[in-house]
């Protein structure tokens, strides 16, 4: 397996971690959004990842085992709405209730930490691979 294939997998992992972090950012920014283009409040979003075969030059054992990663879909949780009593709100209904996104800030913070840690892990894997390549060049000195 050549180094550039490893770099490709690392890049896919970094992109996936970035996508997760982007969605968390979006959820955090819209924690109080009561109005969207589709009508209704903002719906909590989550990312699902899927593994993807990579093409490269390896022997048959590695070719089946190694998988890259990509974002499969960003899904909305349609049920993540809670009604809060706020009669003065412009979007309140006749009874004085406002539909607000049901986003758990603690959950989003936890997701943010795992996304950022997995990004760091991918960077570390990249650095390890790079150092391996540079060490290889020092052979025979």
Q: Which residues bind other proteins (CB under 8 A)?
A: 3-4, 7, 10-11, 14-15, 18, 126, 130, 133-134, 137
Nearest distance in Å: CB 4, other proteins: 6
Side-chain-side CA neighbours of residue 117 (13 Å): 6
Structure tokens at 129: 């691979």
- Of 18 and 89, which has the nearer Cβ to other proteins? 18
Confirm if 69 and 49 have CB atoms less than 8 A apart: yes
| Coil, helix or strand at residue 92 | coil
Nearest distance in Å: CB 51, other proteins: 19
Nearest distance in Å: CB 2, other proteins: 11
Confirm if 54 and 66 have CB atoms less than 8 A apart: yes
d(CA 139, CA 136): 5
- Of 6 and 111, which has the nearer Cβ to other proteins? 6
- Of 94 and 137, which has the nearer Cβ to other proteins? 137
């Amino acid at each position: 397996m050549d180094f550039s294939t490893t770099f490709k997998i690392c890049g896919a992992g970094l992109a996936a971690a970035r996508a997760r972090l982007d969605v968390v950012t979006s959820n955090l920014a819209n924690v109080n959004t009561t109005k969207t283009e589709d009508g209704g409040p903002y719906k909590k979003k989550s990312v699902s990842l899927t593994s993807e075969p990579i093409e490269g030059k390896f022997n048959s054992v590695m070719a089946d085992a190694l998988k890259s990663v990509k974002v499969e879909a960003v899904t909305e949780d349609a049920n993540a709405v809670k009604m809060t009593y706020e009669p003065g709100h412009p979007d309140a209904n006749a009874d004085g209730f406002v539909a607000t996104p049901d986003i758990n800030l603690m959950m989003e913070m936890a997701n943010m930490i795992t996304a950022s840690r997995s990004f760091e892990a991918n960077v570390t894997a990249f650095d390890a691979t790079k150092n391996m390549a540079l060490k290889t060049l020092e052979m025979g000195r």
